[in-house]
Structure 1
C-alpha cells in the first residue's frame, strides 16, 4: 500500500492579463497595423518640421453595417475628436480648428463627426483665420508648455460638456476624520480602473507639483470647498481618484488618459501597439463608477499630458508661441529655433519621482495610521523592477526652471526672450 500523499491545495497559475474580447483586433489580423500611428501636422510649416503630435491608432474601424470587419479587413484608426482636441490644446484652445488631409488653406475637414475614426496616417490641423491674427499666411501660435497653458474656464470643447459626462456626488457617509485622503478612500473604495483594492493609491489629475499653475489659473474654484483651499491646492477630492500602483505609474508617465469618446468616459492609451498589454486590456474600457469629480480637472490632465508629448519645438526652426504677457493675458511671440529647444523642451535627465512630485509623501496631519497600508498618496516612490531592485522611472522634467515651472514670466517680470537666460 502506497503512503498517503500530502494534500496539495495549489491552484492553477494565472493566465496573462487579457480583456474578455481578446483585444482590439481579432486573430488573423495582418501585422501591417501593429504599429500604426497617426501624424498630426501644422499646415504652415514644411513637412520636415511641422509635426504637432504622433498618436497611436488603436481604435478598430467598423466595417459595413457598423460591425467590426473580420480578419485581415480590420483596420485601426484614431478617434477624431480626441486627436482634434489634442491639437486644439496645442494651438491655444482653438476648438474651431479641424483636421484635413490637405495642407492647403480652406481645405475641407476630413469629417465633422466627433466620434468618427481617422483611418489615414497624416492630417493637418487648420485654424480659421481671425481678425488680428497677423498677415495672411502667418502660422497660428502654439502653447510651448503646460506652464504657459491658460485654462479655458467655461469654454471647454463641446464634447467635454455634454450632460451625460457629469459626475454625481458620492452617497457614501463622510469619513469619521475629514481629510483629503479619507474622503477619496471612502468615496472610491478601490481602483477606479480595475476595482482592485490591492496597492490602491491616490492619483491626482493635476499633479501636486503643478500647484503654482493651479493657483495661477484659479483652479481652486472647482474644489468642493474653494474657501478652504490654502495649501496643497491640488489635494482636493475632485482632483483625484484611487488607482492601482502599477497603473498609477503608467498614468504618470503619460501613457494613457481618460477622455470622452462616444458620449462616455473611456480610457485612451497614448503609447504602444494594439497587441501590447496596456492597449489590449485597457484601451476604450470605461472606468468604474466615478463620483464627485470635476470635468475641468480631467481636462487639465489631458492638456498636461498632450503638451508634454509634442516635439514641435524640437525641430530647430523659429516658432510662434503663446506665452503669458505682462498683463497676465496670452500673447504671441516669435522664438528662435535654438531658444525653443533651450526654453521649453524636456530635459534629458531622468527623474526619480512620479509626476515630478516632491520627494516627501504628502499626508494630511489628521490621516490615520491605518491609511499607511492602503490608499497612500503615491506620486513619489521609486518603481521596482522584476528583480526587486529600484529603477528610475521615466518622467518629464522642466527644460529649464524658468520656462516650465517658474511663473515669473507670467507676472510680467521677464519676457519670452529672457527666459532662456535664467
Structure 2
C-alpha cells in the first residue's frame, strides 16, 4: 500500500472568489472626475460662488445622473421647491427629461418660476419635512416589494427593535448577507430633536416613543451588514426611487461598494417608512450646502426660530433672512457620528467616571457605582497649606458596593494639626448624604416594581410598561438584550432588576469595596 494518503482523507483548500460588480458593470463609472454642478441663478458665476450643490454622476460609464434624484436634491435645499426646474444656462429653456432620464452636462441651473434669489435651508436641522407635499415620484407608503409580507403582531418595544428589524428584512437588505446584520437607523438617533420638532413621531408604528428614543421605531430602521452600515452613516449612499423601484444610489467615492451595489434594486418590506428614507436623503445632502454659503458675501436663507405669535403664543416658526459668510462659517460640518448612540458608545477610560462623579457627588447613581472602574478608592486631599492627619471612623458600611468614605456614619474631616500660620481648617465630607439618596432610590424602585408586577397580564418574567408590545415580541420568539437576561424591557422599566450587578471583564480590576471587602 502506498505511503501517501488518499486525497479524500485530506483537507481540500478552496479558491476564494471576490464578489463581482453589479451587471452591467459598464453603466457605473465611480470616477472622481464625474460630477455635475448645480448653480443658483440668484448669485454671480465668478469664483464658483453660486454653486448650490455638486453631485457625483455615477449613473453611466462617463457622466450621468438620474434626473429625479438630482431634482429632489436641489428642491430639498431650496426649501422643498418641487416646482423648480433645471436648465443648462442661466436663462435657458427647461430641460425636457423624464424622471428616469440622465443629466450628462457638467453644470445646470436650478430655477424657480418668478423667483431668482430664492431662499435655501442652511442645515438639515432647519429643514422642514414636507408633510403636506412629498416629492414627485416619491410614494408616501412602501408597498411590500419583498417576497410575501411579514406580519407584525404589534410594534416592538425599544429593546426588541433590532431583532424585529432583522427578522423582518431577513438579513442585509442590500447584500442579502445574514451574518452579523445590524439595525441601521434611517433618521439618525443624533437627530432625535429634529424628529420631535417636525412631528415625525406621528408616523411611528409605536406611538409611545418619546424623547431620546423617539427614533427607535421599527419603521425607521433597516437591516444592514456592518461595513455597509458604516458607509450609510458616512453618507456614502442613499436609497432613492428609480424606474418604480427602490435602489441604492452612491453619492460619494468608494473602493468596492459602489461597483457592487450602485443602482441595484432593493426588496423593502411593508413597515419601512418612505418618509424616513427621504429624511436620510436630506441628511446626506445638507452638509454640502455649507460650501455654497461660505463662498459669497451673504445668502438668503430660511431658518427655524422660536418666538411668540401675534397672540403671544410661543412656538417655532420659519423666518427668511440673510446669512453672512461669517455666520455660515460657524455652521457645524455635520451631525454627530453613529458612535454617540447608546449602542455605539465606547467604554470610558479608567478614572473618567470617577473624575465626573467627584465633580458632582450628588449625581451618583446606583448603577454607576455598581459598574465604576477606577484604579483606587475615593480619596480626598486637603489644601496644600495644611499638614494634617485625617481621622475617619470606619464601621462596616451598610452598602458593600459603596466606598467606605461615602457612608453616613463617617465623621467630617478633621484637622489634627493646625497650619503654620495659626488658622484652623475644617472640611465637611462632600459625600455625606449620598447613602441616604441611594437608599431612597432603592425604596422607590421597589415600590415601582411592586406596582408593575400585578399589571402584567401573563408572563411573570416580563416587566415592561408596554405590555402588548412585550407579549407580541415574546410570542414571536424575539429576545431582549443580554444584560436584561434576554427579557423584553424598555428603557423606562427598571431593567436593572435583570442586569448583572457589574460587567465581568477579566481585564479590569474592581476596587475592594465593590466586592464588600
TM-score if structure 1 supplies the norm length? 0.72
- Alignment match of 2:104 (pick from 115, 119, 124): 119
Larger Rg: 2
Tell me what 1:369 maps to: 482
- Alignment match of 2:303 (pick from 314, 323, 335): 323
Q: Distance in 2 between matches of 1:315 and 1:174?
A: 53
Give the root-mean-square deviation of aligned CA atoms.
3.2
Query: What count of residue pairs does the alignment treat as equivalent?
Result: 338
How far apart are residue 249 of structure 1 and its match? Answer: 0.1
Q: Distance in 2 between matches of 1:15 and 1:123?
A: 42
How far apart are residue 55 of structure 1 and its match? Answer: 1.3
Q: Distance in 2 between matches of 1:371 and 1:20?
A: 42
- Cα deviation, 1:305-334, whole Å, max 9, x if unaligned, reads 111233212315211111013352221110
Q: Distance in 1 between matches of 2:292 and 2:41?
A: 13
CA contact (8 A) 1:37 1:54 kept: yes
CA contact (8 A) 2:56 2:252 kept: yes
SS in 1 for 2:52: strand
What does 1:71-90 correspond to in 2, within 5 Å? Answer: 75-90=62-77
Tell me what 2:56 maps to: 56
Q: Distance in 1 between matches of 2:155 and 2:202?
A: 25
Q: Distance in 2 between matches of 1:176 and 1:219?
A: 16
Tell me what 2:17 maps to: 15
Q: Distance in 1 between matches of 2:320 and 2:12?
A: 66
Q: Distance in 2 between matches of 1:370 and 1:8?
A: 43
User: Which deviates more, 48-57 or 219-228?
Assistant: 219-228
Tell me what 2:34 maps to: 36
Tell me what 2:341 maps to: 357
Q: Distance in 1 between matches of 2:172 and 2:24?
A: 22
- Alignment match of 1:191 (pick from 163, 172, 179): 172
CA contact (8 A) 2:27 2:59 kept: no
What does 1:258-407 correspond to in 2, within 5 Å? Answer: 258-272=239-253, 276-310=255-289, 311-325=291-305, 326=307, 328-342=316-330, 344-346=331-333, 353-354=337-338, 357-358=341-342, 360=345, 367-369=480-482
Tell me what 1:141 maps to: 119
CA contact (8 A) 1:141 1:320 kept: yes
- Cα deviation, 1:385-413, whole Å, max 9, x if unaligned, reads xxxxxxxxxxxxxxxxxxxxxxxxxxxxx
Q: Distance in 2 between matches of 1:281 and 1:372?
A: 39
SS in 1 for 2:128: coil
Tell me what 2:202 maps to: 221
Cα separation, partners in 2 of 1:298 and 1:25, compared to 1, 3 Å: closer
User: Which deviates more, 85-94 or 3-12?
Assistant: 3-12
Q: Which has the higher contact order (CA 8 A, sep 6+)?
A: 1
TM-score if structure 2 supplies the norm length? 0.59
SS in 2 for 1:332: strand
How far apart are residue 11 of structure 1 and its match? Answer: 3.8
Cα separation, partners in 2 of 1:303 and 1:289, compared to 1, 3 Å: closer
- Cα deviation, 1:25-81, whole Å, max 9, x if unaligned, reads 49xx9x9x7731111111121222111221111112xxxxxxxxxxxxx64300011
Q: Distance in 2 between matches of 1:99 and 1:269?
A: 21
CA contact (8 A) 1:40 1:122 kept: yes
CA contact (8 A) 1:266 1:286 kept: yes
CA contact (8 A) 2:85 2:110 kept: yes
SS in 2 for 1:76: coil
- Cα deviation, 1:340-398, whole Å, max 9, x if unaligned, reads 111x2417xx97x427535549xx9872429999xxxxxxxxxxxxxxxxxxxxxxxxx
Gaps of 5+ in 1: 61-73, 131-136, 374-422
